[in-house]
Amino acid sequence: MPNDDLTTRQSKPITAGSPALNPGAIASMLKSLPGWQQQSGEIRKTYAFKNYYETIAFVNALAYISHREDHHPDLEVGYNKCTVRYSTHSVGGLSENDFICAAKVEALMSA
């Protein structure tokens, strides 16, 4: 599934009992997200910036994406870096929403 395809999708509400993605689907979607890694039931990537101002500008742009998608990552913010971690707690692993949002973050960074 190409990254462009993920950026055109919208996150969907997760219904009770929805399953997490299977390993094949995860591997396929992860291929379209350069630098993202799967670890401990989540996908993650660390972005580097010149300074704190750029880091916080990224966090604010990410907050906008998260609000629009109604799907929120865990963030680790430092002076010149931010680690973004997506998982879907209600499925106990990864859902398509995680990959949609990660693709939109990638699109933000390539703009």
Question: Hey, CA dihedral for 10, 85, 104, 56, is it positive or negative?
Answer: positive
pLDDT 10s digits, 11-57: 999 987 899 999 999 999 999 999 999 999 999 999 999 999 999 99
Residue 67 DSSP label? H
Can you list the pairs that 25-29 forms with residues at least 24 positions away whose Cβ atoms lie under 8 Å?
26/94, 28/1, 29/1, 29/96, 29/99
The owner of tokens 């990410």 is: 62
- pLDDT of 4 strictly over 70: no
With respect to residue 63, please indicate whether it lies within any of the assigned structural domains.
yes
With respect to residue 91, please indicate whether it lies within any of the assigned structural domains.
yes
Q: How many domains does the chain have?
A: 1
With respect to residue 14, please indicate whether it lies within any of the assigned structural domains.
no
pLDDT higher for 17 or 68?
68
Residue 27 lies in domain: 3-8+22-110
pLDDT 10s digits, 81-108: 999 999 999 999 999 999 999 999 999 9
Measured at the alpha carbon of residue 45, what is the angle toward residues 15 and 48, in degrees to the nearest 5? 140
Q: What b/e readout covers 75-110, taking b as 16+ CB neighbours within 10 angstroms?
A: eeeeeeebebbbbbeebebbbbbbbbbbbbbbeeee
With respect to residue 15, please indicate whether it lies within any of the assigned structural domains.
no
Q: What is the pTM of this model?
A: 0.92
With respect to residue 97, please indicate whether it lies within any of the assigned structural domains.
yes
Q: What pLDDT, on a 0 to 100 scale, did the predictor assign at position 3?
A: 53
With respect to residue 13, please indicate whether it lies within any of the assigned structural domains.
no
Q: What pLDDT, on a 0 to 100 scale, did the predictor assign at position 62?
A: 98
* Mean per-residue pLDDT over the chain, rounded: 94
Domain of 31: which CATH number?
Answer: 3.30.1360.20
User: Strand pairing partners for 52?
Assistant: none
Strands 42-48 and 74-77 come out as unpaired
Q: What pLDDT, on a 0 to 100 scale, did the predictor assign at position 15?
A: 86
